[in-house]
Structure 1
């Protein structure tokens, strides 16, 4: 990846890290499944009305919408509503990095270096440490598993995004949002119930309601349209295994912001696991980038001019046009 692409990936990490605070604010007003439906409905309606469909196969739009949109946020919002702290959720969700690399290796035949796999195993070990710390009770371990399920959904979306090879990332981001609203609204009505759904729209003018709306706007405009649009653009121009590990910067922002704004604390064991995850996935990203540069260098075969054309015999040129040109007398020589 170029420096420009690296900076863009880092900016997306900042947007997505702060997004966990926005989600926490919105969940104080809306139930999780309804919130997912609202998030993507606010994108789907203008997409259908004003945004032309991107030149991408429908299966990749649907796959991206199901993975990145529906599955990721269904499980993430469910986990946070069930008690997963915003900062810790930003860390565990980054299991999408290793998941993306493994799916890319399995389905896209992307090569994984041995050193890269070692770092990925280190990251998974860090997640295991965090999971063990959460295993103190069923109530805290379930949100951890739900967040992991959301990370796997994100990885599926990454692979579909990669396969789309879009040159219109914003259009793709808008159109993938069409997949989620109707299924999530139906699920919300069935699970959360019409009464709870209706009650969530009462009190929107209170401070809680206004902050919830602000969080929803941030999630839709900044995190989804801008952040996901840039992410799609990067994924279409770089190997999935190189881009995905940049998501490991998200928990650095998310956990720091949750500590400063929400006063969230993590245990010493969770902090150790977080360090292992960040080192592992960032290390895997560096190794993947190095491997991509090596493969690109090997693909360039130097051309040897002497091997391309046979050596001239008897001091004459091998090119008949050059021989013809050399036999002609120039106007200047005829004057002499």
Structure 2
């Protein structure tokens, strides 16, 4: 007879856990600046291959493979790795600022809700429905930016916008994969799942680089400066390994509704870092879109609790 799992504590976050949550917010927010720096010397596919190769080794030699079928590791590696970051790196190369990328990527919350309804039969609550409407209005503001006179000028392009949304859709798809994997293997180790799935994108990214990159750029990564490799190391060890490890630990120790609101800080850090470190500008239409998307996220993360409180009153 096995012992029952320890209940998640009802108390608030300790000082250590609060620092861990803030660390994740800063690490993931600066993640987008590191992408921009890496793309100066790597093609999108080269950066993807380098990121996951560095993230996988030597950790796969130290972390035990999770007790989960290989198909879920493959699907997660293809959707979250090749899909999400393949589209995101391409978006940032053809015209998407680091700050706006951090905001648009958060639309995965709403795409996940749509996929969950279609594929898993999960219904959306009122707060999520309102959040979806606000997010659609925000995306409309981003789209109108390219129709307004001179609105498309700056650090973003229409195709960068489209590819960024494709990245969000692939992140949402990977969320569905995780849910299905947990249904089949409830006791799987989240950290082991992330580490071992990092093996999957390496060969597809390398093949895409050999197929799509110009011949003169195929071996250009060998001459990349130290700063570019520092960006790769940041993406691999800080954003992927440290960020997901801390986030997983927080979710294991506290209810999801107490941890999830910290994700609202990621686009704030991403926008601030893009403007301060990269000198990125934001148009009025984009500010409108940013405001609506952040309001939508806040509605989804805290709306259900407010609605319950009103009903109790």
The one of 68, 73, 87 aligned to 2:85 = 73
Residues 101-149 of structure 1: per-residue CA shift (max 9 Å, x gap): 2223333343421232112210221122112213556981001000000
3-state DSSP class of the match of 2:66?
coil
State the match for 1:164 in structure 2: 181
Cα offset, 1:91, TM superposition? 1.1
- Report the Cα distance in structure 2 between the residues aligned to 1:239 and 1:124, rounded to whole angstroms: 28
Root-mean-square deviation (Å): 3.0
State the match for 2:208 in structure 1: 187
Q: Which structure has the higher relative contact order (CA within 8 Å, separation 6+)?
A: 2
Extract unaligned runs of 5+ from structure 2.
1-7
Residues 3-61 of structure 1: per-residue CA shift (max 9 Å, x gap): 43995555433221110111111111111111101111112342443432111232322
* 1:125 and 2:160 aligned: no
Instruction: State the number of aligned residues.
Output: 289
- Report the Cα distance in structure 2 between the residues aligned to 1:68 and 1:50, rounded to whole angstroms: 22
> Over alpha carbons, which structure has the higher Rg?
1
Extract unaligned runs of 5+ from structure 1.
294-336
Cα offset, 1:192, TM superposition? 0.4
Cα offset, 1:188, TM superposition? 0.4
State the match for 1:58 in structure 2: 70
- Report the Cα distance in structure 1 between the residues aligned to 2:42 and 2:232, rounded to whole angstroms: 10
Q: Quick one: structure 1 residues 188 and 243, their matched pair in 2 at CA, closer, same or farther if it must change by over 3 Å?
A: farther
User: TM-score, normalised on structure 1?
Assistant: 0.76
The one of 6, 13, 25 aligned to 1:4 = 13
State the match for 1:106 in structure 2: 118
Q: Quick one: structure 1 residues 289 and 197, their matched pair in 2 at CA, closer, same or farther if it must change by over 3 Å?
A: farther
- Report the Cα distance in structure 2 between the residues aligned to 1:211 and 1:281, rounded to whole angstroms: 34
- Report the Cα distance in structure 1 between the residues aligned to 2:108 and 2:46, rounded to whole angstroms: 24
- Report the Cα distance in structure 2 between the residues aligned to 1:75 and 1:257, rounded to whole angstroms: 21
- Report the Cα distance in structure 1 between the residues aligned to 2:308 and 2:215, rounded to whole angstroms: 51
State the match for 2:230 in structure 1: 214
State the match for 1:177 in structure 2: 198
3-state DSSP class of the match of 1:201?
helix
